[in-house]
Structure formats: structure tokens, C-alpha cells
A and B are shown apart, each in its own frame.
Chain A
Amino acid sequence: DAGVIQSPRHEVTEMGQEVTLRCKPISGHDYLFWYRQTMMRGLELLIYFNNNVPIDDSGMPEDRFSAKMPNASFSTLKIQPSEPRDSAVYFCASSLGSVTGELFFGEGSRLTVL
């Protein structure tokens, strides 16, 4: 069975450029989460969706970050313009039926902003 699929796995870009990270959740899962992992802050929840609707975006750092989920099988996290402090590993995760239970994570997208 396919797990959560993220792309790209690695992205190196220059400050000021737009970055788009993509996620395909596990088929049938109704919750989708975007997390960011850094050494300083660990795993931070940025935003989560339920049935394609954003429910809690309180973790989105600022207006430069936006996330969409146009359908049940696809989500994007966009950073525009990117800054060096955005360098991190971004994880997408999905779950079935609950926001508080077991999450299934993708392999992550490592972003480096120069």
C-alpha cells in the first residue's frame, strides 16, 4: 500500500524564490497535516485539514506561508518569498477519523534556502 507521498525530497533555492511542496495523503484518510522539523523547535504543526477544509492554521509562521488542499488526494504548502530561516524538513501526514490519533507521515521534504 502506498503511504503518504511527498515531493520534492530535497529543494535548494535562493532567498526570495517561491517554494512549493506537495503531498499526496493515504487514500481514504480524511485528515491531512503539515509539520515542520527544526533542531530548535522540533516538530511543529503548521496547519491541518479535515475533508479538504483548513481547520487550524495557527501554526503557520506568517503570511509568506500558505497551504491548499484542492481535493482529497493532493495538498500544497507554498512559501513566497522564501527566507534562509525557512530551511527545515517539512513533513506531510495523514490520518483517518481523528486529529488526535495515529498519524502516518511522509518521508519529508528537506528545504534549504540560501
Chain B
Amino acid sequence: DQQVKQNSPSLSVQEGRISILNCDYTNSMFDYFLWYKKYPAEGPTFLISISSIKDKNEDGRFTVFLNKSAKHLSLHIVPSQPGDSAVYFCAASGHDKIIFGKGTRLHILP
């Protein structure tokens, strides 16, 4: 039973446009959410996070939105750049557990 779902295995976006990656979770116990970025042959690296007491967190081109009632979060990247092409993992944590989604592969098109 997947507790963290990333329903889009891949996404293609034109360079300069906005990339929106989505993530749904099922367990209300999660109180902290993170996004990780992974390049081929490398380990995931932390990108941005949000606490459940907030609904938005922004860091440069990256913004994460949290909708607790819908148990949904999204990562917005604007403007998208070629170096953003990677796999993005959503993670949810709480009560000594951290659960990752399956990831979404983002392709930034020239």
C-alpha cells in the first residue's frame, strides 16, 4: 500500500516554462514533506521541504505548496532550466518514519 504517490512517472517541459510535479499522501500522521532531486549515477540530494504548519515554502526558483485537506503537495520550478532534468522524489515524514514516492522523471526540452 503506497503511502506516498507520484502518479506521473515522467514529465516534459519546455525550457523557460513552469514545471509542476505532484505528490499525494494517504497518512495524516505525516508532518514534514521533502523533495529530493536525483541525477543518473548519483544519490538523491535534498532540494526543498515544508512543514505541515505551512502551506507554501519558496527557495529561489523552487516553491513547494502543501494542501493538507487534499493530502497533496506540489513542487513548482520556474523558470525551468536544462539542469533541472532529473528524477524528483517526494518524501513524507512523521513519527520516526520517512516514506519516499517512486519519483517523477523531468525532461526539460530546449
**B-contacting residues of A (Cβ < 8 Å)?**
4, 35, 41-45, 55-56, 91, 93, 99-108
Contacts and interface: CB of A to CB of B under 8 A. Distances in A.
A41 B96 contact: no
Contacts, number: 57
A54 B89 CA distance: 25
B34 A102 contact: yes
Contact of B42 (A56, A99, A103, A107): A107
* Secondary structure type dominating chain B contacts: strand
B96 A102 contact: no
B109 interface: no
Which 5 pairs show the lowest CB-CB distances between chains A and B? A105-B43, A42-B102, A100-B93, A43-B100, A102-B46
B53 interface: no
Contacts of B94: 100
Contacts of B43: 4, 91, 93, 105-108
28 contacts: A4-B43, A35-B100, A41-B102, A42-B89, A42-B102, A43-B89, A43-B100, A45-B98, A55-B96, A56-B97, A91-B43, A93-B43, A99-B96, A99-B97, A100-B32, A100-B93, A100-B96, A101-B49, A102-B34, A103-B44, A103-B46, A105-B36, A105-B43, A105-B44, A107-B41, A107-B42, A107-B43, A108-B42
B13 interface: no
Contacts of B99: 45
B47 to A, nearest CB: 10
A99 B34 CA distance: 13
Given A101-B32, A102-B46, A42 B96 contact: no
Contacts of B97: 56, 99-100
A110 B42 CA distance: 11
Nearest to A108: B43
A54 to B, nearest CB: 13
Interface in B10-36: 32, 34, 36
A36 to B, nearest CB: 11
